[in-house]
Amino acid sequence: SLNPCVLDEKDCYASHIVVVTKVTDSSVTFHDPGLPPQENREVAKEIFEKAMTPPAKEDTNVIALRKRD
67 inside domain: no
Q: Which helix (H) or strand (E) element contains residue 41?
A: strand 38-44
Partnered with residue 54 across adjacent β-strands are none
What range does the domain containing 23 cover? 4-55
> What pTM value is reported for the model?
0.77
| Number of domains forming the structure of the chain | 1
Q: How far is CA 50 from CA 15, 17, 34, 41, 56, in A?
A: 13, 15, 19, 16, 13
Judge whether 69 lies within some domain.
no
Q: What is the pLDDT of residues 11-62, one digit of tens each?
A: 988 888 899 999 999 999 999 987 789 999 999 999 999 998 877 666 666 7
